Chain A
Amino acid sequence: MLLQQILNGLTAGSVYALVALGYTMIYGILGLINFAQGELYMAGAFAAVLLLSAYEVNFFLAFLFGMGVAALVGVTLERVAFRPLRGAHPLVPLISAIGASILMQSLALLLFGPTDRAFPVQFEFATVDVAGIPISTLQGAIFGSAVFFMTLLVLFVKYTRFGKAIMATAQDQDTARLMGINVDRMISLTFLIGSALSGAAGIMMAIYYNATYPRMGLLPGLKAFSAAILGGVGNIPGAIVGGLILGVAENLGAAYLSSGYKDAVAFAILIVVLLLRPRGLLGGRGH
């Protein structure tokens, strides 16, 4: 029972972590809390679901398509809603992000209606016994994919030219420019990656809960945001750790305290942690 809850938590947590990575990368480079991150998650899910319902395409192709659409929306969002506001008071782009979030949610509502959509492809998932604990292969697949994407990101940031350029830009834009790095392009690239990851997370959850709807990104978005902060915002390993802890904690909280307060657990933990460690668990930056 306890282990089962932990596994459930790790599944949800790995998805939070994926979205949190987007938050943390965007925060790292722009100092901006992208409140519309949850809507990118929703956009990815809708894109994949719609494609799969309309055409007989391969699931993995639809998955990539969903990530691509989320990435495109994210890059556009940065161009339209954030770039013109660079240099303004930090609360201004925050409100702009909120505006974008409202806009995208209502657009999705208009286009797709309020009802949940089932995921068009049904998978055969089994339950396997691992050391006496029943594990659903669906959970395993979600956790595995999330870990796969996180690994990819970490490798990208650490070992590629553009990954290092993104880190450099996040640290010191002026000096990055002196290296010949085009800062605007790095910001776009960051949005592209962060949004694609959120899109992937959205698709995974659309499969997990078998529901895709306009407001689906709201709570996961807020929790991922908490996860990013919990780990120390701007800190990539921090986002991963934060996401996992949050996922596990809220599942335990729901199981052993009260399911009504499930969503409160995440935030309560966050507040307590920040009181003890004002810059998050692994230490993030401030602006």
Chain B
Amino acid sequence: MLTLKSVHSYYGSLHVLKGVSLHVRQGEIVTLLGANGAGKTTTLKTISGLLRPRKGMIEFLGEDISRLGAEQIVQRGIAHVPEGRRVFSTLSVTANLELGAFARSDHKAVKKDLEDLQERFPILRERARQPAGTLSGGEQQVLAMARALMARPKLLLLDEPSMGLAPRLVKQVFEIIARLRETGATILLIEQNARVALKVADRGYVMETGSISLDGTAAELMDHNEVKRAYLGKGYQEVWE
């Protein structure tokens, strides 16, 4: 479904992605692990078009999307839930959701999707008219994910959905991901919390200073010594079980 071939991205003159290659198949949940500053967020930004790669190819459903702008890529079916949620804080919860469907023109279906999501996540209905900025962190994360779902994406990019959330909420967020998985969603997931991520994912990649250093199935990675030492080490707080 999505294939990256030796992608290079820069911030100004800072070379951040140094030949990233990875792929995501239809219906898979793939996780991208790596230390802070490895370039995970940058990878997602490059896929969703916020950043234009200088070199390399990004193919989505058989089309090269590496030259497209972010607003065109959403229309191709990729929705990106950015790091730190980034809800539009002064706009109402409902307005946020509606904006998630900005690229769609099937207004009736949008309305129905909105109602479905409100059904699934009651908080979105309870707080419908409240400014999104007044929601708690966990609620904002739910909103950000629902907002992305409003685009009816074929591929969902999630950037650290559990960041800054209390363990109980982390659990909730991952329950949503697990549920999405049952509906056949395709997800590329970045997560600091490697153990949790590997539990929900089919496969994973490990990123180190701008390139992929390791890849395998979730089970393989879970067992891999390197991963164990670096990302599943002691002092890590178990929240999933």
Do A and B contact each other directly (Cβ–Cβ < 8 Å)? yes
Residue numbers in A under 8 Å from B100 (CB-CB): 179
Interface residues on A, range: 10 to 19
Interface residues in A151-207 by Cβ distance below 8 A to B read: 161, 164-165, 167-168, 171-172, 174-183
A164-B99, A165-B102 in contact; A178/B88 too (CB < 8 A)? no
Give the contacting residue for B70; candidates A161, A165, A167, A177; CB below 8 A. Answer: A177
Interface 0/1 of B70-88, CB less than 8 Å to A: 1100110001101000101
Q: Number of contacting residues on B, CB 8 A?
A: 24
Residue numbers in B under 8 Å from A168 (CB-CB): 88, 91, 99
Indicate whether B39 reaches chain A with its CB closer than 8 angstroms: no
Q: Considering residues A174, A177, A179, which has the most beta carbons from chain B within 10 angstroms of its beta carbon?
A: A179
Instruction: Name the residue on B nearest A177 (C-beta).
Output: B70
Give the contacting residue for A182; candidates B71, B79, B88; CB below 8 A. Answer: B71
A161-B98, A161-B102 in contact; A181/B86 too (CB < 8 A)? no
A164 to B131, CA, bound (A): 13
Contact in complex: A175, B88 (CB < 8 Å): yes
Contact in complex: B71, A181 (CB < 8 Å): yes
Contact in complex: B90, A175 (CB < 8 Å): no
Residue numbers in A under 8 Å from B74 (CB-CB): 178-180
Contact in complex: B49, A181 (CB < 8 Å): no
Indicate whether B50 reaches chain A with its CB closer than 8 angstroms: yes
Instruction: Name the residue on A nearest B81 (C-beta).
Output: A178
Indicate whether B48 reaches chain A with its CB closer than 8 angstroms: yes
Residue numbers in B under 8 Å from A180 (CB-CB): 71, 74-75, 102-103, 151
Indicate whether B184 reaches chain A with its CB closer than 8 angstroms: no
Contact in complex: B71, A171 (CB < 8 Å): no
A175 to B69, CA, bound (A): 13
Residue numbers in A under 8 Å from B90 (CB-CB): 167, 171
Contact in complex: A177, B49 (CB < 8 Å): yes
Give the contacting residue for A171; candidates B70, B79, B82, B89; CB below 8 A. Answer: B89
Indicate whether B128 reaches chain A with its CB closer than 8 angstroms: no
The 10 A-B residue pairs with the shortest CB-CB distance in the complex, in nearest-first order? A180-B103, A177-B70, A180-B74, A175-B86, A179-B102, A180-B102, A179-B99, A168-B88, A180-B71, A178-B80
> What are 30 A-B contacts with C-beta separation under 8 Å?
A161-B98, A161-B102, A164-B95, A164-B99, A165-B99, A167-B88, A168-B91, A171-B89, A174-B50, A174-B70, A176-B99, A177-B49, A177-B69, A178-B48, A178-B50, A178-B70, A178-B74, A178-B79, A178-B82, A179-B74, A179-B99, A179-B103, A179-B147, A179-B151, A180-B74, A180-B75, A180-B102, A181-B71, A181-B99, A183-B71
